[in-house]
Amino acid sequence: MSAADSRLAPYRGRFAPSPTGPLHAGSVVAALASWLDARAHRGQWLVRIEDTDTPRCAAGAAALILRQLACLGLQPDEPVQWQSKRTLHYEAALNVLCAKGHAYGCACSRQDIERALAAAGQARERHAMAVYPGTCRAGTQGRGVRAWRARVQGMNDWRWHDRRLGSQQQDLEAQIGDFVIKRSDGLWAYQLAVVVDDGLQGITHVVRGEDLADNTPRQQHLQNLLGLPTPDYLHTALVLSPDGQKLSKQTGAQAVDVHDPLHALRAAARVLELEVGGDNPAAVEEPTVNRWLELAIEAWGQRWCRTAPALGRL
């Protein structure tokens, strides 16, 4: 099923936080945008806790995120899913990819990769991603498998459409290379888990932060290899820290103060350039959270949905 077909399926969107810390101003933007898009399309909105990267998960963060969402009036329509409970699905997908020759075991350590790149004269800039040189594509030559990679040879002109960013293009082979789907520490890589879950949960629309946009071709490639439908994508603007970095726990983002949910929601709406209650400013002076959300659905629908927004359903 292509992106065009996915629009025919009933709308199912999701918010998929990694529980590395509480919701902050940046993650509220993704939560609110995905919720508004689902509501404006009269669709379902799911929450999935992406807790595969256990060393980065903070104790209690998932429960806190769910409480924060509830205080913001953003309630999922189905029970929350936890990636840590879905590993059998990821295992099955890896087996399919390997059986079809789309994935392979890789024995290379980070140093092996650096050495192979240096030997091939492919010095890279500090912090730039190392594009895997393909050492184990034809087998590990008796070395033990550490990680599993998906092949991207020949994927040189991946084109896709983002509802906000417009046409996008990536050379998967040159810019990304065969990418890890199961890590050397035995953990499932985000790319595989997100694709398997979006597919099995019937997600038709992905709305998330722009920092994740360049993952989309990898995910669409995996969807194709696994015979899963490709959702529609909308990547939102990001909240930046004062020094221009993406707001994150690492850049010192503060937990959102849910004692004043309207303040947090209004700040997120500003990032999304949504004029909530634009036609009726009096309506947004002292609204309840639910009333504000109703007006936000209307504003979102006018901006991003071709069909009329659904009003009155929270």
Residue partners of 191: CB distance under 8 A and separation at least 6: 150, 179, 180, 181, 215, 218, 219, 222
Task: By CB under 6 A, tell whether 249 contacts ligand GLU.
Answer: no
Cβ distance to ligand GLU smaller for residue 194 or 274: 194
Q: Which of 37, 50, 173, 178 binds ligand GLU (CB under 6 A)?
A: 50
Minimum distance, C-beta of residue 242 to ligand GLU, in the bound complex (Å): 21
> Which pair of tokens denotes residue 108?
């290379």
Tokens linked to 199 = 């597919």
* Binding mask of the shown chain, residues 167 to 196, with x at each position contacting ligand GLU by CB under 6 A: ---------------------------x--
Q: Of residues 114-143, which lie at the interface with ligand GLU (CB under 6 A)?
A: none
Alpha helices in the chain (DSSP H): 3-6, 25-40, 61-71, 87-99, 110-119, 190-200, 216-226, 261-271, 289-304
**Helix, strand, or coil here: 104?**
strand
- Please state the closest distance from residue 208 (CB atom) to ligand GLU, in A: 4
- CA nearest 145: which of 111, 98, 109? 109
By beta-carbon proximity to ligand GLU, the closer residue of 135 and 215 is 215
CB 253 to ligand GLU: min, Å: 12
Q: Residue 18 Cβ, how far from ligand GLU at the closest point, in Å?
A: 4
Report residue 118 as tokens: 């240096």
Q: β-strands 44-49, 81-82: how paired?
A: parallel
Return the range that interacts with ligand GLU (CB under 6 A); candidates 14-22, 121-129, 137-145, 147-155: 14-22
CA angle, corner 22, sides to 233 and 264, nearest 5? 70
User: Between 57 and 136, whose beta carbon lies closer to ligand GLU?
Assistant: 57
What is the total count of residues that contact ligand GLU (CB under 6 A)?
Answer: 7
Residue placing its CB nearer to ligand GLU in the complex, 213 or 295: 213
Q: Pick the closer one to ligand GLU by CB: 86 or 208.
A: 208
**Site track 202-241 with ligand GLU (rule: CB under 6 A), x = hit:** ------x---x-----------------------------
Closest separation in Å from C-beta 211 to ligand GLU: 8
Cα distance between residue 177 and residue 160, in whole Å? 18
Q: Is 65 in the site for ligand GLU (CB under 6 A)?
A: no
- Note whether 18 binds ligand GLU by CB under 6 A: yes
- Shortest reach from residue 275's CB to ligand GLU, in Å: 26
Choose between 212 and 264: whose C-beta lies nearer to ligand GLU: 212
Angle between helices 87-99 and 216-226 (to 10 degrees): 70
Q: What span, in angstroms and rounded, lies between the C-alpha atoms of 220 and 229?
A: 9
Is beta strand 179-182 parallel, antiparallel or unpaired with respect to 147-150? antiparallel
Count Cβ atoms below 10 Å from residue 273 Cβ, excluding itself.
Answer: 10
Q: How many CB atoms lie within 10 A of CB 59?
A: 8
Q: Please report, as ranges, the residues that interact with ligand GLU according to CB under 6 A.
A: 16-18, 50, 194, 208, 212
